[in-house]
Structures are given as C-alpha cells and as structure tokens.
C-alpha cells in the first residue's frame, strides 16, 4: 500500500494528517487524483452557475417586476454579493476549526440548493409579486412597489444562497488540491493543472449562466431559469456525496483567524509589559519558523513570558502567551495590507458590471434583427474577455515579456496587478464617455444608442481581471508565506467585502439616483 505522507509546514495543501473516509491512511492508487478532484469541481461549477445566474440579471427583475427603484435594486444586488463573499469567512473558519473541508462543502452545497429552490418559489408564486404595471404608469411613477411580505421570501432565498455559496467558495479549491500530494512530482504537476482547469471551469459555468439562464429568465420565465439552477445544484450535491470513497481528507488544524485575533488580543492585554532586553527572550524564539523582524514591535508583547507563565510552565498555552512564529505571521499580514488595499477599487469597478452596466443595457438598443438580447446576457462579453486575455497572457504576453525583461515569469505579480488597475481606469473612462453620449442623445434626439457600445467597458474590465486576479493569486500564494496565504484568502479578502458592502451601495445608489432624474 502506498501512503500519502504529511508534510507539516511544507505546504498548506498537504498540512495535517491525510486519511480516507474511514479514517485510515490513504491508498494513493484508490483515492485522490483527477477523479476525486473532478467530482469536487462540480460543486463550484454549480455554485458559479447559480450565483451568476442570479446576480447578472437580478436587478432587471427587481426594477421590472417588483417595481423597486433602480438605486434600491442596485443596493439589494450588492448586498447579496457582499454577503456571499463575507460569509466565506464563516465557511473557512468552520472548515479549519471544526468540520473539515468535505463536510463544510457538502453542507454549504445543500444550503445553496435550498436557497435557489426558495428563489424559484419567490419568483414563481404570483402573490409574491405586485400587480403588473404598464408603460404609461411606469413613466408617471405610478407602479405599486413590492411590499415587505412579498420581499421576505426573496430576501430569505438570496441570503440562504449567500450562506451556502460562501462556504463553497472558501473551501472547494482547497479540498480539490487536497486530492494531490505535492511530495509526488507527478501529482504536484497535476495539481497545477487542477487550478488552471478550476478557473477555466468556473468561467465556463459563468458563461453558461449569463447566456443560457439569463435568456430563459427573460423569455421563458424566472422560475424556469432558477429552477434549472436548483436542479444543477441538487445534482452537484448528489455527485459530491457519491464520490466520498474516492476522496482524501485532512483533519482540521485550527483557523488562522483565531491566531490573528489571539495575537492582537494578547498584545493589547500586555501593553504595559516592558520589552525584554533581547528578542531571544521572547517565547519560543529558538524554534521560530520564520525570521524575526523588528517592525510592528508592539505585537512582540504577545510573546512576552511574564512571571506567571514562567513560574507555572504555561508557555505552551496559546491563550496566555503567543509564540514568535505566530507574531511574525501576523506581522506579515499587516505588511501586505497596503498591497491588498490597492485591489479595492478594481473589485468595486468589477461589481458595477452586475448592476449599473446591466441597467444601462436595459435602456439601450439591444436588437439584432428581430432578436432582442437580454440585458444580463451582455455580461457574457466580460467572461469572454477574461478567457481571451487569460489565454493571451500565457501564449503571447508572458513570452514577449520574458524577452524584454529576461525574467522567467515575464512580469512580476505586482506588475500584473498594476496592469489590471490600469485597464480598470481605462474601462471607467470609456464607461463615462459612453454614458455621457447616451444621455445626451436620449434627451436631445430621443434615440437609443446601441448597447454594443458597452462592450468597451466589458472587455477592458475583463482584461483587468485577467491580469489583476492572476497577479493576486500569484503574489499571495506563490510569493507569500504559506500561512499568510491562508489568512489572506480566508480572512482579509472576505473582510474587504465588508468595506465594499458599505461603500459600494452608497456609490451605486448615488449613480442610479442621478440616472433616474
């Protein structure tokens, strides 16, 4: 029998004990690999179909069917997306601290399926919608807006979906990578291809959602569109559970979030303690796994051994004193905050593609002959752009950059992020020019311009994501410390959406208020 070894601190993907579903050491010939990873990937593919099928076209349902104002509709959509990503923090914590990735993904997928079923009911039951409003009453703002009772089921469905989707997002890629042993060169190479296919797969799922599901929602019925998503998610849950005998499992090792706030709490608690004469007197200094740094010295107080800890030999109790290793890892998080913060504006711009730009498309000319393209389906061009520029990066841009910079990577991770931010700036400049022309022509000539002008911002934002998102992954996973990568992915990125949730709703709300005038 060939066993998978535990590599400890060597790599996050093989941290902890690896066992099969019976709790025994795994047989590599019967577990893991592409079969197990493929079954797991189905959960994320289905989650992406559900979320994209909801978010890309929800604003048109809120405005057109529920008669909610454009500003309030945009707020509802951004709240849903913010909650989806913020709840990834909870999913990651539960998986690391108690449940493990498999149970968390399985439970989260089941919750997502329940949420989409509720959404199907909310959009199908006639009593859950206000009376139909014709164009004349709409122009004179006489439509009856959905009341609280009608919105209650919708909100319950959206936030149930967000709860499940957050748990899937934060764990499915890690659970998939658990199926490969980085100590085996063949499996390590396969794991790299897994991440490539993972990203490509969720992009295809998104493309299916914005083209097929959005069309069904607009032309056949919302219930049918969301019903297909619900069936897809139920099938994904069944496939995930049926694949249990082929998975490799890693026991929970504790949440990195716990270590972060514990270090901060101990540093605050010991703020009046004097610094030791030399850093070597800090707790577990000789066994540190990362180099000691003097920056953010105030955090060192968390590792100070006071008389009580030394006398009672409680230096191994993490609730009384931290180790130098944990303190340094928290310092790493703080050092990377400026780099992380530069991505806030990019993802703010990206979020507008599901609200402001979709609403723009609804009041522009969308016909090709007699066929009317659904407003939400224009988001397909965003995904096509991401796939196009992701391929061009590897086939054209990186080889060209290698010749110019003589760097094996072509350009550094931070340069990729910088290029993505430049693309996002260009996208907003183009969007502003197009919106200015659209308003002027609509007011002065009462003519709708073609919605295909929106392709400018879709392609530029897609190009920006292809550079910025890949740059972030490379920087936080390849260049940063392994523990730090886990904290960034499971703690800092979800916390960013809390800020986005507060700021973006105000920004988008102001924009729609202006457009509605």
DSSP 36-102: HHHHHHHHHHHHHHHHHHHHTTHHHHHHHTS---HHHHHHHHHHHHHHHHHHHHHHHHHIIIII-HH
Q: What is the pLDDT of residues 196-241, one digit of tens each?
A: 677 677 777 888 888 888 888 888 888 888 999 999 999 999 999 9
Question: Measured between alpha carbons, how far is 335 from 344 in angstroms, rounded to an integer?
Answer: 17
Question: Measured between alpha carbons, how far is 135 from 138 in angstroms, rounded to an integer?
Answer: 5
Question: Measured between alpha carbons, how far is 353 from 428 in angstroms, rounded to an integer?
Answer: 11
pLDDT for residue 16: 52
Instruction: Tokens for 349, please give them.
Output: 């711009």
Number of alpha carbons in the 13 Å side-chain half-sphere of residue 451: 21
Cβ distance 255 to 96 under 8 Å?
yes
Q: Say if 143 falls within a structural domain.
A: yes
**Least confident stretch, 195-199, 314-318, 353-357, 503-507:** 503-507
Q: How many domains does the chain have?
A: 1
The more confident residue out of 62 and 317 is: 62
The more confident residue out of 421 and 391 is: 421
Q: Give the max Cα distance, the chain.
A: 85
Which of 1-15, 315-329, 407-421, 440-454 has the largest mean confidence?
440-454
- Domain CATH code at residue 199: 1.20.1250.20
Instruction: Tokens for 122, please give them.
Output: 């909310």
Comparing CA positions, the residue from 219, 248, 89, 220 lying closest to residue 165 is: 89
DSSP 218-231: HHT-HHHHHHHHHH
SS percent in the chain: helix, strand, coil, step 5: 75, 5, 25
Comparing CA positions, the residue from 54, 71, 25, 60 lying closest to residue 120 is: 54
**Least confident stretch, 65-74, 211-220, 303-312, 475-484:** 475-484
Q: What is the pLDDT of residues 496-512, one digit of tens each?
A: 444 444 444 444 444 44
Instruction: Tokens for 85, please give them.
Output: 């990503």
The string over 431-456, giving b where at least 16 C-beta atoms fall within 10 Å of a residue's C-beta and e elsewhere, is: beebbeebeeeeeeeeeebebbbbbb
Prediction pTM value = 0.69
Q: Is 371 helix (H, G, I), strand (E, B) or coil?
A: strand
Percent above pLDDT 70 for the chain: 84
Cβ distance 289 to 320 under 8 Å?
no
Number of alpha carbons in the 13 Å side-chain half-sphere of residue 505: 16
Does the pLDDT at position 271 exceed 80? yes
Instruction: Tokens for 183, please give them.
Output: 């100590």
pLDDT for residue 473: 66
Question: Measured between alpha carbons, how far is 53 from 158 in angstroms, rounded to an integer?
Answer: 12
Cβ distance 326 to 300 under 8 Å?
no
- Sign of the four-CA dihedral 413, 507, 358, 46: positive
Instruction: Tokens for 191, please give them.
Output: 């794991």
Cβ distance 220 to 226 under 8 Å?
no
Question: Measured between alpha carbons, how far is 10 from 291 in angstroms, rounded to an integer?
Answer: 16
Q: Say if 376 falls within a structural domain.
A: no
Question: Measured between alpha carbons, how far is 289 from 315 in angstroms, rounded to an integer?
Answer: 17
Q: What is the pLDDT of residues 453-490, one digit of tens each?
A: 988 888 898 888 888 877 776 676 555 544 444 444 44
User: How many other C-beta atoms can be found within 10 angstroms of the C-beta atom of residue 399?
Assistant: 11
Cβ distance 204 to 101 under 8 Å?
no
Give the structural domain span for 197: 19-254
Cβ distance 282 to 294 under 8 Å?
no
- Sign of the four-CA dihedral 209, 210, 211, 216: positive
Q: Say if 79 falls within a structural domain.
A: yes
Q: Which residues contact 38 (CB under 8 A, 6 or more apart)?
A: none
Q: Say if 135 falls within a structural domain.
A: yes
pLDDT for residue 357: 82
Q: Say if 501 falls within a structural domain.
A: no
Q: Say if 122 falls within a structural domain.
A: yes
Measure the CA dihedral 209/210/212/216, to 10°. Answer: 100
> In which element (H, E) is residue 18 found?
strand 18-19
Q: Say if 463 falls within a structural domain.
A: no
Instruction: Tokens for 274, please give them.
Output: 């004097």
Does the pLDDT at position 441 exceed 60? yes
Could you give phi then psi for residue 118, rounded to 5 degrees? -60, -40
Does the pLDDT at position 310 exceed 90? no
Number of H helices, E strands in the chain: 21, 4
Question: Measured between alpha carbons, how far is 237 from 232 in angstroms, rounded to an integer?
Answer: 9
Cβ distance 494 to 88 under 8 Å?
yes
Q: Say if 359 falls within a structural domain.
A: no
Question: Measured between alpha carbons, how far is 448 from 453 in angstroms, rounded to an integer?
Answer: 11
**Least confident stretch, 20-29, 146-155, 508-517:** 508-517
Residue 160: pLDDT band (50, 70, 90) is very high
């Amino acid at each position: 029998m060939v066993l998978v070894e535990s590599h400890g601190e060597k790599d996050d993907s093989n941290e902890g004990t690896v066992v099969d579903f019976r709790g025994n050491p795994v047989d590599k010939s019967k577990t893991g690999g592409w079969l197990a990873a493929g079954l797991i990937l189905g959960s994320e593919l289905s989650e992406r179909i559900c979320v994209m099928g909801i978010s890309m076209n929800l604003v048109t349902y809120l405005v057109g069917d529920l008669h909610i104002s454009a500003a309030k509709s945009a707020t509802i959509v951004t709240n849903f997306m913010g909650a989806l990503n913020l709840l990834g923090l909870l999913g990651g914590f539960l998986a690391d601290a108690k449940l493990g990735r498999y149970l968390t993904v399985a439970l989260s997928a089941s919750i997502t399926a329940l949420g989409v079923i509720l959404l199907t009911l909310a959009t199908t039951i006639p009593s859950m919608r206000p009376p139909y409003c014709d164009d004349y009453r709409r122009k004179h703002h006489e439509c009856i807006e959905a009341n609280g009772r009608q919105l209650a089921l919708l909100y319950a469905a959206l936030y149930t979906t967000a709860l499940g989707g957050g748990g899937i997002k934060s764990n499915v890629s890690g659970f998939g990578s658990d199926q490969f042993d980085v100590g085996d060169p063949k499996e390590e190479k396969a794991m790299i291809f897994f991440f490539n296919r993972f990203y490509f797969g969720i992009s295809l799922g998104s493309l299916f959602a914005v083209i097929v599901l959005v069309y069904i929602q607009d032309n056949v019925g919302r219930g049918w569109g969301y019903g297909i998503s619900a069936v897809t998610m139920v099938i994904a849950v069944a496939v995930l559970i049926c694949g249990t005998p082929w998975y490799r499992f890693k026991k929970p090792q504790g949440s990195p979030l716990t270590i972060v706030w514990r270090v901060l709490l101990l540093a605050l608690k010991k703020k009046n303690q004097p610094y030791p004469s030399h850093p070597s007197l800090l707790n577990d200094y000789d066994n540190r796994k990362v180099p000691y740094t003097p920056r953010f010295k105030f955090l060192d107080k968390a590792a100070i051994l006071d008389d009580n800890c030394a006398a009672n030999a409680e230096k191994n109790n993490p609730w009384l004193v931290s180790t130098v290793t944990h303190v340094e890892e928290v310092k790493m998080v703080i050092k990377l905050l400026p780099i992380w913060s530069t991505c806030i504006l990019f993802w703010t711009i990206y979020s507008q593609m599901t609200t402001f730009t979709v609403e723009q498309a609804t009041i522009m000319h969308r016909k090709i002959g007699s066929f009317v393209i659904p407003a939400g389906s224009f988001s397909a061009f965003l995904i096509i752009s991401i796939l196009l520029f992701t391929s061009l990066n590897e086939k054209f841009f990186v080889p060209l950059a290698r010749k110019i910079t003589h760097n094996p990577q072509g350009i550094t991770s931070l340069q990729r992020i910088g290029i993505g931010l430049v693309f996002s700036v260009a996208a907003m400049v183009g969007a502003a020019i197009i919106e200015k022309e659209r308003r002027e022509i609509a007011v002065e000539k009462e003519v709708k311009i073609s919605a295909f002008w929106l392709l400018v911002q879709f392609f530029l934002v897609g190009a920006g994501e292809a550079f910025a998102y890949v740059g972030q992954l490379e920087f936080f996973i390849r260049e940063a410390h392994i523990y730090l990568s886990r904290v960034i992915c499971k703690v800092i990125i979800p916390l960013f959406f809390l800020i986005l949730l507060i700021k973006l709703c105000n920004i988008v709300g102001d924009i729609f208020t202006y457009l509605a005038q």
